[in-house]
Chain A
C-alpha cells in the first residue's frame, strides 16, 4: 500500500502543498512547530477520517480561513484511490472517495496505516483507554464489520447512559433498561470476541519479535482482561456480561453510567511472568511497544495481504540504537514510511530515504 500524492489547502499551517511520493522511507526534518506532525496528521485523516490529536475539524483549518482541503491519492492491492476531504468552520464536511460522496465512517478501510508516536510509549503503563484504542484502531481498519459494531455499541451505550440518568431522576422506569441491555449485550459479545481473537494473534507475533530483540532472554505476551482462554468463550461471555449488567444495574443507576463492558475492558501485558504495567522497566516498556507496533504491521499484512503505511512521529529519538536498527530492518524495502524528527536521519545511515525540510508550513525536498 502506498501514498502517491498529498495536496493540502489551508490545512493547519499549510496554505498550499502538493507533493508526490514513491515507495520507501520519507523523512521530514525541521525545528519544532514548523508543521512536521501536521503532515502525518493529514495522512492519518485519510486513514480514519479524523485526526489523531485534534478533537474537532475546526482546529485543522488554518486560522482566519473558512475551510480546509485535504486530498490524498493512494493505491492498494486492488486499485488506486483518491480521497478528498473538505472541512468547514461550522463543523460540516464533504468526504469524496473516487468522485463519490461518502460518509465519514466509510473512509475507514481503504488506506491502512500504523501510527507510532511518543505517546505510544505510554501504551504499557498508561490508562486502559490507550490500550483499547490500540486494538480498536487496528481491527477497525481491516474489518469494517467490527468498526460498524463499534460505532453502534457506542451509540447504545450513549442511549443507555442517558436512560440511567433519567431513571436516577425517577423520570423513567428501570424496566426500560431491558431492551437496551439486550442490544448492548449482543454487540458486546461481538466486540469482545473479535478483540480477543486478534489479540491472541498479536500476542503471538509480538512475543516472537520481543524474543528476537532481547535475543531470547525475555518473554512477552498480551492477554484480554476477561475470558481470554479459548474459542469457546462466546456463550460464557454472553452469560457473564448479562449477569454483570443485571447485578450492576442499581450501581449503574446511582452513577448514571454503565460501569461494565468492552468500553471499560483492558489488555494485560506480561513480561517474564510479571505484569508489565506494574513491573516493566523503561527499557522493557520500549521494547514491548516496539514489538506491539511491529506485530500490528504484520497482523494487518496477514489480514489484508499487503503492508499498511507506517507513520512515525518523532519516534526515532526515543529508541536506542539496537531498537532503531530492529525497526529499520523491518520497514526497509517493504513498508512505505513517513517519519518526522528534529535531527536528520538518526539511525538511517544504511537506508535509502528521501529527505524533506519543513519550515513554517513550507516543505522542500533536500
Chain B
C-alpha cells in the first residue's frame, strides 16, 4: 500500500500534461528523496509563480509587472505587432534576439490565447481578437505579423485576423513556411517540402 500523502502527490503529478502514472510515481519518489529545503523551494516556486504572474493588459502575455517589460520598453518597435497563439510562443520568438539586443525581432507581441476552433467551441469572441483591433485603432501600428502555428486552426485564425485588419489600412504579413535550418531534405515530410518549394525565392 502506498501511504496516502504519497499517493496524493502522485495523483497531483499525474494531472500534469504529458505525465503518465509511471512518471508520476517516479517524480513523487524523487521529491520524497529530496532534502526538505529543496522540496520547500519547489513548493514555494509553484506558489510564487502562480501568485505573481498574470496576463499583461496590453499584449496578454505572461508577466509579473503590468504592462509587461516588452510593452513598456522604449527601445522596442511599437509599430510592429507579432500575433501568436500562446505566451510560450512569445518566449520562442524572443529567442531570435539572442544576447545582443539589436538583432532578431524588435517589435511587440499580441497573444491570442488560443485559435478559432468550432470543434472546441472557440469563436472570435473567445480569444483576444477584439483587444488586438482596439490596440491597432488606438496606437500607431504599421505592420501585424501573423505567427500562429502552421496547422489548420492556426492558418484559419491567421486568415480571419488578416481579413479583419486589412480594412484598417495596415500591412498584415504571415510568417514563412519551409524547412528548418540544419535539417535534411530527405527527412522532411511532403507537405513541408511542397510549401518550401511554393515559397522559394531567388538568390
Measured CB to CB, the residues of A under 8 A from B are 144-145, 148, 152, 155-156, 158-160, 162-163, 166, 171-172, 176, 178-180, 182-183
Contacts and interface: CB of A to CB of B under 8 A. Distances in A.
A183 B152 contact: yes
Given A145-B194, A148-B190, A166-B123, A179 B118 contact: no
Given A145-B190, A148-B191, A182-B159, A172 B119 contact: no
A182 B162 CA distance: 14
Interface of B: 116-119, 121, 123-124, 152-153, 155-156, 159-160, 163, 190-191, 194
A178 B155 CA distance: 13
Contacts, number: 42
A176 B163 CA distance: 11
A142 to B, nearest CB: 13
A163 B116 CA distance: 10
Given A152-B152, A179-B163, A158 B123 contact: no
Interface majority SS on A: helix, strand, loop or mixed? helix
A163 B118 contact: yes
7 contacts: A162-B119, A172-B118, A172-B123, A179-B116, A182-B159, A183-B155, A183-B156
Contacts of B160: 176, 179
Given A159-B117, A159-B118, A160-B118, A179 B123 contact: no
Given A145-B194, A166-B123, A176-B124, 15 more contacts: A144-B190, A145-B190, A145-B191, A148-B191, A152-B152, A158-B119, A159-B153, A160-B118, A166-B118, A172-B118, A176-B123, A179-B159, A179-B163, A182-B159, A183-B156
B192 to A, nearest CB: 11
A183 B160 CA distance: 12
Query: Which 7 residue pairs are nearest across A and B when measured between Cβ atoms?
Result: A162-B118, A163-B118, A179-B159, A145-B190, A162-B119, A179-B160, A179-B156
A172 B155 CA distance: 19
Contacts of A145: 190-191, 194
